[in-house]
Amino acid sequence: MSLDCKTIHQEIYPYSTEIRTFFSPGRVNLIGEHIDYNGGYVMPFAISNGNAGCISIRLDQKIAFYSSNFSDYGIISSDLEHLEYVKDNGWANYAIGIIYELKKRNYLIPNGFDISITGNLPTGAGLSSSASIEALVITMMNECFHLGISKRDLSLISQYVENNYIHVNCGIMDQFVILNGIKDHALLLNTSSLEYKLVPMLLTEYEIVICNSLVKRGLVGSKYNERRQECDEALVIFQKFLDVSELCQISPSQFEMCKSYLGSNTLVKRSRHAVYENYRTIECFTAFNNKDYFKVGRLLTASHESLKDDYEVSCYELDLLVELALQNGSIGSRMTGAGFGGCTVSLVNKKDIEGFKKAVKDGYYQATGLLVEILVASVVDGTKEEV
Ligand code: GLA
């Protein structure tokens, strides 16, 4: 992929001389869904599908962006003094937002540059294609202009851009794992402290299989913000009885004791998901350490049930994919990411993989007329320069 990227770069910017190449992965979250904005534990990993990018530094102050995935946009250009959000810049706002924020924080970007990107992450599939671009561009800036920013801060700045420039109110999970991911490991990330532990993902008997429903995450913006707001409302009520600053600090027994004060079934459901999903994620970490993959599988499926019934962020197609997975050899399956479309993640015994793929494809096609895309995940490092 990086080779392709260099060829594209030379075609688009034929005058460029020194070209540096970077790769930024996508992400899959194994468990701990919709709790990264409630201070919970999440367990994401970086995947080999992602964005490759090339950069060459210019002598003037111009900046230019090209993506072969959005070739209709052509080359989007501006300069280092004009970095405001422009709707027509489309995908390039994720890149320009990063430059805007770095400059606002007084990081020195002395020269303009040309960037080209090519990716194999399906957009709108819930595999964080936008966070992958943010991570790619911020890493390029950090390396090419020697900004000396830690990976932790690169993640926080990228999340800040997503929240304040793009105006998507996401948590820290995607940017953090894309920048800090470690090959063959998931991170057990405490989203409150940003401390993490590694979870080995090279499983001798099982594969992690990703199924793309091909349903674009339509409602995600509005419903995502609505869920965040419901969690905040529930927290305010719990705080009258419990000394907590985030929903995921509440234990299941405290939740059961106090839930009747919430006064609304919706708030009970939302906060029940947050509290128990956090516990499932911690239990899942223990199950991995004990190599108890049946337990891991049961926790994944329980997470899906909770996202479907209590958090209400699933949809018919995701539920169908989970059902088909469980009927065809998977020991645990769930939707991954924000929901309302996108992908599922399933644990499947290696010897059952081919049968699994065929049965899920056929079943999904019969029910929906759609051809599900199936990827077997390889877990890679976070964004870095390719050498
Ligand atoms: C999106 C957001 C993340 C996280 C997930 C749900 O991917 O960007 O911060 O909230 O949804 O777990």
Q: Walk along the chain (387 residues) and give the pLDDT tens digit of each residue.
A: 554 899 999 999 999 999 999 999 999 999 999 999 999 999 999 999 999 999 999 999 999 999 999 999 999 999 999 999 999 999 999 999 999 999 999 999 999 999 999 999 987 889 999 999 999 999 999 999 999 999 999 999 999 999 999 999 999 999 999 999 999 999 999 999 999 999 999 889 999 999 999 998 765 568 999 999 999 999 999 999 999 999 999 999 999 999 999 999 999 999 999 999 999 999 999 999 999 999 999 999 999 999 999 999 999 999 999 999 999 999 999 999 999 999 999 999 999 999 999 999 999 999 999 999 999 989 999 999 998
Across the chain, how many H-helices and E-strands are there? Answer: 11, 13
Q: Are strands 185-190 and 196-200 parallel, antiparallel or unpaired?
A: antiparallel
Query: Does any ligand 1 atom lie closer than 6 A to the CB of residue 34?
Result: yes
Is 101's C-beta closer than 6 angstroms to any atom of ligand 1?
no
What structural domains does the chain harbor?
A: 2-200+381-386 (3.30.230.10)
Name the E strands within the chain: 20-29, 41-42, 44-57, 62-67, 76-79, 113-119, 185-190, 196-200, 206-212, 330-336, 343-349, 373-376, 384-385
Whole-model pTM: value is 0.97
∠ CA 302-375-208, nearest 5°, is 40
Q: Who's near 80: CB < 8 A, 6+ residues apart?
A: 61, 63, 99, 103, 109, 112
Q: How many CB atoms lie within 10 A of CB 265?
A: 8
Contact 24, 133 (CB under 8 A): yes
Beta carbons within 10 angstroms of residue 23's beta carbon: 23
Q: Which of 36, 114, 174, 310 is catalytic?
A: 174
174 pocket-lining for ligand 1 (C-beta < 6 Å):
yes
Tokens representing 240 are: 């009258």
Cα–Cα distance between 100 and 114 in angstroms, integer? Answer: 16
Q: How distant, in Å, are the alpha carbons of 272, 274, 296 from that of 292?
A: 25, 24, 7
In Å, what is the CA distance from 145 to each residue of 15, 23, 25, 58, 385?
21, 17, 22, 12, 14
Strand partners, 177: none
**Does 174 participate in catalysis according to the annotation?**
yes
Pocket test for ligand 1, best of 172, 174, 313 (most atoms within 8 A of CB): 174
